[in-house]
Amino acid sequence: MSSITLKSVEKWFGAVQVIKGVDLEIAEGEFVIFVGPSGCGKSTLLRMIAGLEETSRGQIMIGDRDATAEPPNKRGLAMVFQSYALYPHMSVRENVGFPLKSAGLPKAEIDAKVDEAAQVLKLGDYMDRRPKDLSGGQRQRVAIGRSIVRDPTAFLFDEPLSNLDAALRVEMRYEIAKLHQTLKSTMIYVTHDQVEAMTLADRIVVLEFGKIAQVGTPRELYERPANLFVAQFIGSPRMNVVPASAAPQIDLPSEAQSFGIRPEHITLVAPGAGKIDGTVDVLEYLGADTFVIVSCGDAGQLTVRVNGSTTLVPGDPIGLQFADAETHIFDAGGLAI
């Protein structure tokens, strides 16, 4: 287990720069998640840390060692991909122990490490099965087990849950969270799913076009986004953004170009009793919650989170009320004020 530090890291593919001077310190034992839209560079950055992509410029430090030019097998890292890449003709026990067998370790040592990994991942009942006899979640646990037995410096996860259905994703999020609590290992995890990031990470790195838009805890990014991009990327449903000119009754600084308000911070009131008026356009019923999408003229369409038992119907006139303290104000460049 060790810290990982990126110093002015860049990646070029020919004349195209995809990673643009990233500086990042990941503490020993920390769980850090890279998030961002497709094409932002999160998987490329992870592969650079793993050594699967060359670093064009900058340094990658593992502990106090410069690993920038080291091949993947010298970095002491274990990578778990979205593809399980299990050997179909081998049992679970053989799959988990394969890296150790390839390294020439004694059978007794292999068996002990495999049994320990099986206990951590609750695979004991499946050790003699073939991959085809396992569910998707069980196969992913086997792939993680194959990494655990190597006792790596850090774990790298590249969208490991993207092949699973919704129920299994929730189950595996829990398994990975418990794994981190048990092993206390450094973990770097890539996902496009901000719910995974919010529920798993000690800190989140939000990437935009190859640069870091913001780094912080899930709470910091949710409550104090540094810019408009982070404000709308973190949170589901996404933050409502209103042009400053569309709400003259709200006291905003002169440099404000827009302000944001999260759906759960809006209260529905009678028309004329709030800060913005609109008409109910669509209701999205989710059981405990209903998302009410309100057409508000120049302010655009705003989403409001309300109790699932609302009696509103499309076409109802409505007012939207919220506290000034709950708003996020942005300048013309999209930076938080």
**Which DSSP letter does residue 43 get?**
H
DSSP code of residue 3: -
Structure tokens at 101: 């067998």
Are 328 and 295 in contact by the 8 Å Cβ rule? The answer is no
pLDDT of residue 223: 96
Phi, psi of 291 (to 5 degrees): -95, 120
Contact indicator for 57, 9 with CB cutoff of 8 Å: yes
DSSP class of 40: S
Decide: helix, strand or coil at residue 6: strand
Q: How many residues does the chain have?
A: 337
Question: Which architecture, in CATH terms, is 240-246+260-330?
Answer: Beta Barrel (2.40)
Q: Which two tokens stand for residue 58?
A: 């900058």
Q: Which tokens is 219 given?
A: 């709470």
pTM over 0.85: yes
Alpha-carbon distance 285 to 283, whole Å?
6
Q: State residue 58's pLDDT score.
A: 98
> In the chain, how many H helices and how many E strands?
8, 18
Whether the Cβ atoms of residue 218 and residue 47 lie closer than 8 Å to each other? no
For residues 60 and 49, is the Cβ–Cβ distance under 8 A? yes
CA distances in angstroms from 169 to 85, 173, 175, 189, 262, listed in the order given: 18, 6, 10, 14, 26
SS3 247: coil
CA distance 189 to 249: 43
Greatest distance between any 2 Cα atoms in the chain = 77
Residues of the chain with pLDDT under 70: 1
Domain boundaries, the chain: 4-232, 240-246+260-330
CA dist 210 → 18, 57, 192, 205, 206 (Å): 5, 14, 14, 12, 10
Residue 19 contacts residue 80 (beta carbons within 8 Å): no
Whether omega before 71 lies within 30 degrees of 0, making that bond cis, reads no
Q: Any residues with CB less than 8 A from the CB of 311 and at least 6 apart, and which?
A: none
Could you report the per-residue pLDDT of 191-220, keeping only the tens digit for each?
Answer: 998 899 999 999 999 999 999 999 999 999
pLDDT at 227: 98
Beta bridge partners of 291: 284, 305
In 54-163, beta strands by DSSP E: 57-62, 65-66, 77-81, 154-158
User: 244: Cβ–Cβ under 8 A, 6 or more apart, which residues?
Assistant: 250, 252, 256, 257, 258, 259
Tell me the backbone φ, ψ of residue 242, rounded to 5 degrees.
-120, 130
Question: Which one-letter DSSP state was computed for residue 320?
Answer: E
Query: In CATH, what class is 4-232?
Result: alpha beta
Q: How far is CA 324 from the centre of its chain?
A: 29
CB neighbours of residue 14 within 10 Å: 5
Rg of the chain over CA atoms, in angstroms?
A: 24
The span from the CA of 126 to the CA of 95, in Å, is 12
Question: What are the pLDDT digits (tens) for 136-161?
Answer: 889 988 999 999 998 899 999 999 88
- Cβ neighbour number for residue 221 with a 10 Å cutoff: 27
